[in-house]
Every structure is written in C-alpha cells, then in structure tokens.
Amino acid sequence: MTSKYTSTLQSPLESASFEDDNFMEELLRVVQLFRPFSEAVTEFISEHGYKGDAADTDAKVAFIRNTFEKADMAPPRGIREWFTAAQPIKRDTAFLICFAFGLDGGETDEFFQRYYARERSLNCHQVQEAVYYFCLNNGLSYAESLDIQAHVPLAGEGGKSSVAVHTSSIIEELNHLETKEELIAYLTENIDKFSGSNVTAYEKIRFLWARAAGNGGLLMQEREKLPSILDDNATGKKSAIRAGSEGIKPWDAYLAILQLDKREVKQLNAERSIRPILKKLHTDAQDSFPDRQGIDRILRGEHVSYERVRKWLVLLTFYTFWAQKAVIQGNYRAEPEDADRCLANMNKHLTDAGYPELYVGNPYDWIFMYASKSDEPLYVFRYIWNELLASALEEHL
C-alpha cells in the first residue's frame, strides 16, 4: 500500500545523487522525513475507523481506548505518551494493538513493517507468540490466547535435541491445527521444539559472515582485485587487511565492510564502535546498528535482540550480493536490473528468517535501498559512512 508518507521517501531514492556537491546535506534532510511512532499510529488508526482530527490527541486516545474496550481488553497504560513521547512502544504492546484492532496474521506482519517499523513480527519459536499466531489467524481473542497459555508450558528445555528446529516448520505445523484443543495438545507434546529461537537467521548470518570474512572470502578478494577508498592515491599502494587461518578478525572485517579507516575510527575514542558516526542518523537507524559485539555474540550463538539480528542480516546480504558481483566483473558498477535483484534477495533472506521485508519508511532500510539503486552501490554505501566519519572527526578533534 502506497501512502503519502512512503511516496515522500520514495522520491529521494531516485533523485538524490552522491555526485552532487551537497549530497550529504540532501541525505541528512531525508533523515528528517522519517516519522515518529506518533505519526505512524495516527495513520494506522485512521485506516481502521478513526474519523477525527489527526492533531487531536484527546480524540485519538479516546478512540484507541474505546477500541480496546470493545475487544474486552484493558487499554494499555500510557496511550497518551504514544503521541507525546519519542520513545517507541514495547513489543508486547504492539501485539495488544493487533488483537484489539482485529488484525489477522498477515495484517500483524504489516503492522510491524509499516507502523512499528522495527524487529520482527510473530516469532513462532516462542510459545507465547506461537499462540498469538494461531489466535490472530483464527479470529480468536486476546483473552482466549491467555487461556491457551495458561494450559501449556511456556518454554522447552534446551539441549534435549541436537537437531535445530526452524520456525518455518513450526508455522507449517501450526497451520494444520484448527481448534484451541488441538493447539494445546500440539504445544504440550512438542514443547522441546520451542527451546531455541532465530535458528534460520543465525544460520544465514554465520553463512554470510564466513562468505564475507572467512579465509579467502569476499573482503580478501576485494582487496586483491579492486580499488579501495583506503588505498594511498599518491603512491598507488593498496591498503592491507590482515587475516588468520580462520579469516579476518570481526572488528577488522566490520570496518572493511564499511571501508572505514581503522586509525581514523580509533581517534573517535569509542572503544571499537562507530557510535559517534551514527549520531546524525535517525534514532531508529541508530538503534541496534550492526556492531562488533553483535556479530561476536551471534557467531557464538548467544541471544541478541530481534532488531540487532535483522540489521545484521540486512547488512551482510547487501554486502555479499554487491561484493560478489564486483569481484566477478572487476568493478563496482551495477546493471539497471541489479537493484531489483538485490532487493528481492534481501527480502527473501528476511522473510525466510521470519523478519519483515525492507520498508522505505524504515530509516535503516532506506540507506540500503538508496545505495542499491545507485550506479555503484557498494561504493556509494561506503562513501556515505566515510563522509559521516569525516564529519564526526571534525566535531571530535
């Protein structure tokens, strides 16, 4: 569904050129176009029956409260703050909204993509959210979802099986169930399938990371075959990248993907992070931005937030797609149809792992969508980060 909001953000994808003298100013102006949750939820309720003034907070709060009450649900605390505070709602509250407004599973996915604009939608590897999935898709109320949860264990015991169970297989099994009783029996009998989470996403990230940073991976191939922003233009000396028997160290590989100079980043005194560079971006783009700690924990199989996983998946899918093409053809140029191929590839990886597709109204996604539509996607992507680094150093030093 195309809205005025998405149309406004779609336009700069085509018009902003990194070759313009004021490119970064244009880009940072786009950052100001991304809406807060207050505007997103206003659009949402307007599409679901609210006929009042979009600027009337009292009327909007009353409409939402009334909707919850009609659904026999207690309205969440702090509804007014949805419109007056910059802090986004919590994940649990997002599900309450979906139940109160009678959304089905597909509409819930859309709510997370377009309005919540963060994390993933229903994660059926979690018992509670598997119950939500079944109830939303079968027209059952929030009260019925609580009743089901009261009759089943809410987590399995880890370590009982060495076989990883993918969320997609759980969803397929849930789709064959027709009654609450069948669901309760299924969850009780199969509870050990719910001892993990993010199996598909973690597997994909590990695969993409090995492809990028592993011994002989794309980062090493790039440095051997292609020019780098970090090369010495005066002498023609190529920038070096160190690798051991298992590949490149995470911090070095992370900086190489963004093609940021390690010595310059060190001057920011940010303890092996690029937080000072991110300050000019929208809060939602900064939140859980890919970092060294995140990839370390994912590679070790430790739990990180849904948003952190999603953003790493987007970054690595983008990088490996364009780096592979560049290494094969010996330059960074893209053909006209490559952008659509890249975005389709990114969306497939996201949806396979249970995450929402790229959304032009998401400030983090927008960066990758913009770069993908450029003549030299990977070069433009890295140019943006180097310009932000230069600006951060100027302010810091």
Distance between CA atoms of residues 221 and 329, nearest Å: 12
Closest Cα partner for 342 from 360, 361, 366, 369? 369
**Cα radius of gyration rounded to whole Å, the chain:** 23
The confidence score (pLDDT) of residue 284 equals: 84
Beta-bridge partner residues of 247: 244
The confidence score (pLDDT) of residue 162 equals: 46
Distance between CA atoms of residues 268 and 265, nearest Å: 6
CB 86 within 8 A of CB 36: yes
Q: Write the pLDDT tens digit of every residue in 193-250.
A: 886 668 889 999 999 999 999 999 999 999 989 988 778 776 767 777 878 778 999 9
Distance between CA atoms of residues 111 and 94, nearest Å: 8
Beta-bridge partner residues of 244: 247
Q: Write the pLDDT tens digit of every residue in 242-256.
A: 787 789 999 999 999
The confidence score (pLDDT) of residue 13 equals: 86
Task: Check pLDDT > 50 for residue 343.
Answer: yes
Closest Cα partner for 31 from 384, 290, 340? 384
CB 377 within 8 A of CB 323: no
Q: Write the pLDDT tens digit of every residue in 103-117.
A: 999 999 999 999 988
CB 87 within 8 A of CB 81: yes
Closest Cα partner for 292 from 257, 249, 243, 250? 250
Distance between CA atoms of residues 302 and 196, nearest Å: 11
Is the whole model's pTM more than 0.85, yes or no? yes
Task: Check pLDDT > 50 for residue 264.
Answer: yes
First to last CA, the chain: 46
Q: Is 224 exposed, middle or buried (0-12, 13-18, 19+ CB in 10 A)?
A: exposed
Q: Write the pLDDT tens digit of every residue in 52-105.
A: 999 999 999 999 999 999 999 999 999 999 999 876 789 999 999 999 999 999
Closest Cα partner for 343 from 366, 327, 363, 361? 366
Closest Cα partner for 362 from 290, 306, 282? 282
Q: Write the pLDDT tens digit of every residue in 273-327.
A: 999 999 888 888 888 999 999 999 999 999 899 999 999 999 999 999 999 999 9
The SS3 assignment for 372 reads helix
